[in-house]
């Protein structure tokens, strides 16, 4: 067994290092749970070996040291910390201690407040005007952050009303809401700057800016939880009512605060709040329970560094340390390749986590993470766990770099990353089994091959039963195999096979759209069909030839080249043709495409044809059909109840025709 003196000395040194990085440098090195474990271990050892007591031990202090660059402020009343409870039994013990000390076995009234994960501050008001703001610091001396706090809109510069004490010290937590934190980190990523580990770290870093204009741009909030100095006036005799007074004077208080009778109600509140923790707009790491009656608080008093009348119930940590064993690359339904970290299993937020997302190649580079590293993972609510930082000092000598694949790990096709995007994608498209379900759904959709009855649920069944592996397999489905599926009757099977047979006669434009080539929508598919007229001509087209087509730019051209160059895609295309997919030949002449170069907008209700049918007919005649009216619009077709598009067309002097004229236009072609 280790020497107790050496073990205590090592823990003190480790905790002081954690304090320095967290409170002084705003650069936390470990999750709160790791810090708590070290502190609890030190407390236990010092309790077992009282002869090793030292006033310099971190157990005798409240927080960190005052940071250089800020003036110091002496707290007139110390800002003490709270004892912690990590389970229900600890709450029962706390309640029993309270009742024993008060010599009363009746149920106590407690105020329950969510424990916001931010930075504790003290605000001093004189005659209703904010005089200064200070961090908690070491509990007796804090940093003067007045100029920064004045930028926070939820901090009143002048108190509302006129019944406040002449001198009033308000204490609370300054924090950053989750949405603001995500936006702040996103802007940092876009500028290539370092991101914050969590909202608490972001709030602390924002408050300690020497330039208050930087703080003013940060989405900080302040929620008060109590008072310190009160002079020249009276306040309510209950903690709950004091918070209500502060609210009337202009302070934010917790909307989730509750007044509870007895410890059982406190435990029920813990369960309720922990369940909704992930849905809150801000991070909390627990709940603070306080005896409501202030006269009872005075009777209970304090221990060395904490009040006897309050306790902090800590939730399971949302951040933990574990080891990254490997990285696997998953292919999503759109071809996006996502690196997934395989971790040494660890309990985070009450859930065992063994996987975490690494998002993309840029995130791997930003983190500087390697296989074998000790990493900090974060899990908030139902959000997928993610790696937020790397403990470089723990990196083993045999760590390995993470290499992003150059080919799809599922189908072997090349991967691509479009300039300006962070996502790397498989170019396999319809030939990639990882994308098969999405590809089949799209292929069968109404605007594509229009296979009635082949909906999402049936596609799931067919793929899971290995009856469909690619879109070409649709045309090999047999009656007996369909009939064996759950909830598939003879009539449904026959109807599906009839719809599949009917879909074999289509148009080149519909077929191209059905293939699901990236960035190739209905209009682009029609433009490609009109320009090349034959599938073979499109397949062999060069980039230069593709760029001659309206709606085709360099990115779309690259997607087309990659798609048709893929040998697996070529095989599936040939299978589709061999299994009966065909379309009428397109003949290019002025009579066949009299609307070439025209931009047309449809609006209102049409009675003789659906808008989808009209759109397809117009596109076959060479028109470009768009959804909005602009100066570039050549013609507007207005049905019944046409609205704002018709009004805009008339104001721009654009030609407008009704449904009867539309029939003449289509019938004349």
Quick one: 217 and 147 in the same domain?
yes
pLDDT block averages, 10 residues each, the chain of length 669: 82 82 67 84 88 79 56 90 90 94 92 94 94 90 90 87 94 93 84 78 84 84 94 94 93 93 95 87 92 94 87 86 94 85 87 88 89 88 78 93 91 81 81 82 92 90 88 94 89 94 94 90 88 92 89 87 89 94 75 75 83 80 81 87 82 86 73
Q: Are 577 and 508 in contact (CB under 8 A)?
A: no
Quick one: 272 and 341 in the same domain?
no
- Is residue 245 assigned to a domain? yes
* Residue 69 pLDDT: 67
- Is residue 586 assigned to a domain? no
* Residue 2 pLDDT: 67
The boundaries of the domain holding residue 522 are 430-436+452-578
Quick one: 264 and 305 in the same domain?
yes
Quick one: 352 and 290 in the same domain?
no
d(CA 225, CA 253): 7
Total domain count for the chain? 5
Residue 223: CB atoms within 10 A of its CB come to 20
Nearest to 262, CA basis, from 287, 292, 233: 292
d(CA 71, CA 69): 7
- Going edge to edge, which strands form the sheet with 119-126? 129-135, 119-126, 167-175, 221-231
Quick one: 83 and 122 in the same domain?
yes
Helices 178-190 and 199-207, interaxial angle, to 10°? 80
- Is residue 626 assigned to a domain? yes
pTM: 0.56
CATH number of the domain that residue 257 is part of: 3.30.470.30
d(CA 286, CA 494): 60
Residue 431 is classified by DSSP as G
* Residue 669 pLDDT: 47
Quick one: 523 and 643 in the same domain?
no
- Is residue 520 assigned to a domain? yes
Quick one: 199 and 304 in the same domain?
yes
- Is residue 121 assigned to a domain? yes
Q: Are 404 and 330 in contact (CB under 8 A)?
A: no
Quick one: 632 and 538 in the same domain?
no
d(CA 242, CA 111): 11
Quick one: 657 and 536 in the same domain?
no
Q: 600: which 2 tokens?
A: 């047309």
Q: Given 13, 115, 178, 491, which residue is catalytic?
A: 115
CATH number of the domain that residue 18 is part of: 1.10.287.610
Residue where one domain finishes, among candidates 546, 578, 610: 578
Quick one: 614 and 544 in the same domain?
no
What are the residues whose beta carbons fall under 8 Å from the beta carbon of 248, sequence distance 6 or more? 160, 161
CATH number of the domain that residue 548 is part of: 1.10.150.20
Quick one: 351 and 249 in the same domain?
no
Residue 539: CB atoms within 10 A of its CB come to 15
Quick one: 553 and 617 in the same domain?
no
Distance of CA 499 to the CA centre of its chain: 41
Q: Say whether 115 is catalytic.
A: yes
- Is residue 67 assigned to a domain? no
């Amino acid at each position: 067994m280790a020497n107790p003196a050496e073990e205590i000395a090592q823990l003190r040194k480790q905790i002081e290092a954690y304090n320095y990085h967290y409170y002084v440098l705003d650069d936390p090195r470990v999750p709160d749970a790791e810090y708590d474990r070290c502190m609890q271990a030190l407390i236990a050892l010092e309790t077992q070996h009282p002869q090793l007591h030292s006033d310099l031990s971190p157990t005798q202090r409240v927080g960190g040291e005052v940071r250089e660059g800020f003036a110091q402020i002496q707290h007139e009343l110390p800002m003490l910390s709270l004892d912690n409870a990590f389970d229900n039994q600890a709450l029962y013990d706390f309640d029993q201690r309270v009742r024993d000390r008060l010599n009363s076995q009746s149920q106590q009234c407690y105020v329950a407040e969510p424990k916001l994960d931010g930075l504790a501050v003290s605000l001093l008001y004189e005659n209703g005007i904010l005089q200064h703001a200070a961090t908690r610091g070491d509990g007796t001396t804090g940093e003067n952050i007045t100029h920064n706090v004045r930028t926070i809109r939820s901090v009143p510069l002048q108190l509302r009303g006129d019944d406040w004490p002449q001198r009033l010290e308000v204490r609370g937590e300054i924090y950053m809401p989750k949405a603001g934190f995500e936006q702040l980190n996103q802007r940092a990523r876009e500028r290539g700057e370092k991101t914050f580990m969590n909202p608490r770290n972001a709030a602390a870093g924002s408050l300690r800016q020497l330039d208050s204009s930087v703080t003013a741009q940060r989405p900080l909030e302040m929620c008060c939880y109590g008072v310190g100095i009160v002079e020249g006036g009276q306040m309510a005799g209950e903690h709950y009512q004091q918070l209500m007074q502060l609210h009337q004077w202009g302070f934010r208080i917790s909307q989730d605060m509750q007044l509870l009778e007895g410890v059982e109600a406190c435990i029920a509140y813990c369960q309720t709040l922990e369940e909704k923790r992930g849905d809150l707009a801000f991070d909390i790491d627990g709940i603070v329970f306080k005896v409501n009656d202030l006269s009872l608080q005075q009777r209970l008093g304090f221990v060395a560094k904490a009040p006897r009348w309050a306790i902090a119930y800590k939730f399971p940590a949302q951040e933990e340390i574990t080891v990254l064993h490997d990285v696997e690359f998953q292919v999503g339904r759109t071809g996006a390749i996502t690196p997934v970290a395989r971790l040494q299993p660890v309990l985070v937020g009450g859930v065992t986590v063994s996987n975490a997302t690494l998002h993309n190649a840029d995130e791997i580079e930003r983190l500087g993470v390697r296989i074998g590293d000790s990493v900090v993972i974060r899990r908030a609510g139902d959000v997928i766990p993610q790696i937020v930082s790397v403990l470089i000092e723990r990196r083993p000598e045999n760590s390995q770099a993470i290499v992003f694949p150059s080919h799809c790990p599922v189908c072997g096709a090349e991967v691509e990353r479009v300039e300006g995007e962070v996502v790397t994608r498989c170019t396999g498209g319809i030939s990639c089994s990882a994308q098969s379900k999405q590809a089949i759904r799209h292929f069968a959709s109404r605007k594509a091959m229009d296979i009635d009855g082949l909906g999402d649920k049936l596609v799931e069944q067919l793929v899971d039963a290995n009856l469909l592996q690619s879109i070409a397999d649709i045309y090999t489905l047999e009656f007996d195999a369909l009939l064996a599926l759950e909830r598939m009757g003879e009539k449904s099977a026959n109807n599906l096979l009839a719809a599949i047979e009917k879909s074999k006669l289509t148009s080149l434009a519909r077929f191209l759209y059905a293939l699901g080539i990236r960035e190739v929508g209905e209009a682009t598919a029609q433009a490609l069909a009109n320009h090349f007229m034959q599938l073979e001509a499109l397949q062999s087209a060069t980039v230069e030839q593709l760029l001659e087509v309206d709606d085709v730019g360099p990115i779309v051209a690259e997607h087309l080249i990659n798609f048709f160059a893929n040998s697996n895609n070529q095989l599936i295309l040939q299978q589709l043709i061999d299994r009966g997919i065909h379309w009428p030949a397109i003949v290019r002449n002025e009579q066949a495409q009299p609307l070439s170069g025209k931009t047309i907008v449809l609006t209102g209700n049409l009675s003789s044809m659906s808008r989808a049918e009209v759109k397809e007919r117009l596109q076959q005649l060479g028109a470009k059909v768009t959804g909005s009216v602009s100066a570039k619009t050549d013609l507007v077709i207005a049905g019944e109840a046409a609205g704002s598009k018709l009004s805009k067309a008339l104001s721009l002097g654009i030609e407008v025709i009704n449904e009867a004229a539309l029939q003449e236009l289509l019938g004349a072609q």
